[in-house]
Amino acid sequence: MASLNRRSVLAGSAAAGVVALTGPRASRADDNPGVTATELRIGCTTSLSGPVSALGTIAKCSDAFFRMINDQGGIAGRKINFIYYDDAFNPAKTVEQTRKLIESDNVAFLFSMLGTAPNSAVVKYINANKVPHLFLSVNGDKWGDYQTYPWTMGFAPSSRTEAQIFAKYALAQKPDAKFALLYQNDDLGKDFVNGLRDVLGARYEALVRAVSYEVTDPTIDSQIVTLRASNADVLISGVTAKFAAQAIRKIFELDWKPMHFVTSGASSVSSTIMPVGPERAGPDHLGVHQGPLRSGMVRGRRDEGLYDIHGEVFRRRKPEGGPQYLRVHGHIRAAQIAGTVQRQFCP
């Protein structure tokens, strides 16, 4: 049986199909932070309160999955101790909680930490301490920069890539399309700006009207009014679910019918469509030909085994509620990291 240390977890993630930094294994698991003969400590910061508290569902459901693993004996006899703290989407709080996880809780690694601004506040500190910072709950393009941050790995698709996909599809449908872009004023949102620039090149300034918002803003109604005045054919919403719902409602009120693209993280029926009403998000109102919204996600064949396990987690562990797509997201992340760790103990 192999031992586990911080570097070997990172190397094991490469075996799972992501970029990694390889290195030597330690000879004894109990010589390494967060790993004993009976326990594996994993750390996380998330938003259980604050402007995006619904996203805390991801950590809660990862915790439910880890509890299921523990009920089955853990991984190589070790129970997973998943320690997650609320940072309220406040980067200053993220710094405090991350230092606590590394310096006091002595976690083996950090997993699924939420948010562009929170992760940006701690990424240099984490990498300086050589702590794996894995499968982040964030879409920013910067998290794939393994040369600058070799101990950090993203998980979700890059927002910059999503923006490129949206723009290319829109231009294929309407080659002379004019674009409106609503984006969050942080690295996540700015990736949408960069993705559009990648596709449009020198035409960007002539074809795009871009407006930003702050994550603490109560509403984005004024931004939508401004974008409506541009008479754009295409609207790209680089936003979270709350603001995607607000955008759909305001677009309907203005009787604006652009081809509307919403980022994959905000394209949930339960979190985005239902709060505003399906009648406001249909193709008659958004000018979309197939389905209520275009998103970067492609629906494939349902994995029945995955859904069976997911149902088992929720029947028996009963994590607090939340949008289904976030519950599944938390489950998938936890299953991925558990598989990575399993391969390190039992290669």
**Across 56-70, 167-181, 284-298, least confident range:** 284-298
What is the per-residue pLDDT for 302? 42
Q: What domains does the chain contain, in order, with CATH numbers?
A: 6-157+303-345 (3.40.50.2300), 159-286 (3.40.50.2300)
3-state secondary structure 175-224: CCCCEEEEEECCHHHHHHHHHHHHHHHHHHHHHEEEEEECCCCCCCHHHH
For the segment 239-259, the average pLDDT, to the nearest whole number, is 91
Render pLDDT for 180-237 as a digit per residue (tens, 0 to 9): 999 999 888 999 999 999 999 999 999 999 999 998 899 999 999 999 999 999 999 9
Sign of torsion over alpha carbons 58, 63, 66, 67: negative
**Across 6-10, 295-299, 324-328, least confident range:** 295-299
Predicted confidence band of residue 52 (pLDDT cuts 50, 70, 90): confident
What is the per-residue pLDDT for 316? 56
Scanning the chain, the segments in alpha helix (DSSP H) are 6-15, 57-71, 91-99, 116-128, 159-173, 187-200, 204-207, 221-228, 241-253, 274-276, 283-286, 304-316, 324-345
Helix (H, G, I), strand (E, B), or coil: what is residue 90? coil
**Across 164-168, 225-229, 252-256, 264-268, least confident range:** 264-268
Q: What whole-number distance in Å separates Cα of residue 207 and Cα of residue 230? A: 10
Answer whether 53's CB lies under 8 Å from 326's CB: no
Predicted confidence band of residue 312 (pLDDT cuts 50, 70, 90): low
For the segment 150-164, the average pLDDT, to the nearest whole number, is 91
- DSSP code, position 158: P
Helix (H, G, I), strand (E, B), or coil: what is residue 36? coil
- DSSP code, position 26: P
Render pLDDT for 287-304 as a digit per residue (tens, 0 to 9): 333 333 444 333 333 444
Render pLDDT for 110-154 as a digit per residue (tens, 0 to 9): 999 999 899 999 999 999 999 999 999 988 888 989 999 999 999
Which of 292, 81, 260, 253 shows the shortest CA–CA distance to 173?
Answer: 260
Answer whether 118's CB lies under 8 Å from 125's CB: no
What is the per-residue pLDDT for 187? 86
Work out the angle between the directed axes of helices 57-71 and 324-345 (0-180°, nearest 10): 40
